[in-house]
Amino acid sequence: MDTEAQPTERDRSSRPSDTGDAPNPEGQEGRSRFALVSRITEELPGGRISLTLLLCLVFLLLISTFVVRPFQIPSGSMENGLRIGDRVLVNRLAYRFGAEPRRGDVVVFDGTGYFGDGDYIKRVVGVGGATWSAATRWGGSR
């Protein structure tokens, strides 16, 4: 007879037998992967609907903070392409991974301390290394 205990794997397909009438507080729900969600929905007024709305709100907040942000055109300086009051969604990740603004891009930048208070929306007409002849070919005038 071998005196060392051999580890055995428990059959997870069968349910534990409960002999008492009272439910086990640490039963199936306590071990399930959704136990936290069910506990939260029980505590939250409105249950799953409120939890879903809360998660959607957090998701939208994260998206608007790190990925896209809405802006409104405040003045007529972009009148040929964008009118006063037009709304644009700005991709906040466009220039984060090594790309640089190109001629013709519409960019939004913070002008606080340089040009005044607030954000500015402008079209890029020149980039580093551009010459006068390149600007006139693009559509500029002399």
- Buried residues in 19-48 as b, exposed as e (16+ CB within 10 A): eeeeeeeeeeeeeeeeeeeeeebeeeeeee
Classify 70 in phi/psi space as left (phi over 0), alpha (psi -120 to 50) or beta.
beta
Residue 77 bears catalytic tag: yes
Residue 38 bears catalytic tag: no
Spot the catalytic one: 32, 38, 50, 77: 77
Spot the catalytic one: 14, 38, 122, 133: 122
**Residues designated catalytic:** 77, 122
